Amino acid sequence: MRYFFFILLAVLTLVAPVTLRAEMTLLMAQEDGCMWCARWDSEISEIYPKTSEGKAAPLRRIDIHQSTPADVTLARPLHFTPTFVLLENGGELGRIEGYPGQGFFWGLLGVLLRDAGVSVETSG
């Protein structure tokens, strides 16, 4: 019985660190009629989930005029659309306010992910 206990303890010690991974999300605050949101949708939204960035931080959309979801903690209020907020376990790590075009978006998102300790090959 004691032998079984030590094996179980050893297995749990090896497996436990693997399961404690932070959950990253890219929150997109948008609103109806936002031309920059529409431009992001036409240029990025279809490919985003297929990119390394999209796999590291899946997209979650919210309406800027609605209450901030209870599981999200922002560093400051949202004022502009689109605003992209990188979240780790629901807490803000950084943000991109506005949509500066494809090239800048991928570069800025890459910096946010890098600063969060996530290594991805930039898609832009």
pTM over 0.85: no
pLDDT tens digits for 82-109? 999 999 999 999 999 999 999 999 999 9
B/e letters for 102-114, b = 16+ CB within 10 Å, e = fewer, are eeebbebbbebbe
pLDDT-derived band at 17, boundaries 50, 70, 90: very low
Cβ atoms 67, 50 nearer than 8 A: no
pLDDT tens digits for 42-72? 999 999 999 999 999 999 999 999 999 999 9
What is the rounded CA–CA span in Å between residue 78 and residue 41?
19
**Close Cβ partners of 20 (under 8 Å, ≥ 6 residues apart):** none
Q: Which residue stretches of 1-124 are H helix?
A: 2-19, 35-40, 52-56, 102-115
Q: What is the DSSP letter of 49?
A: G
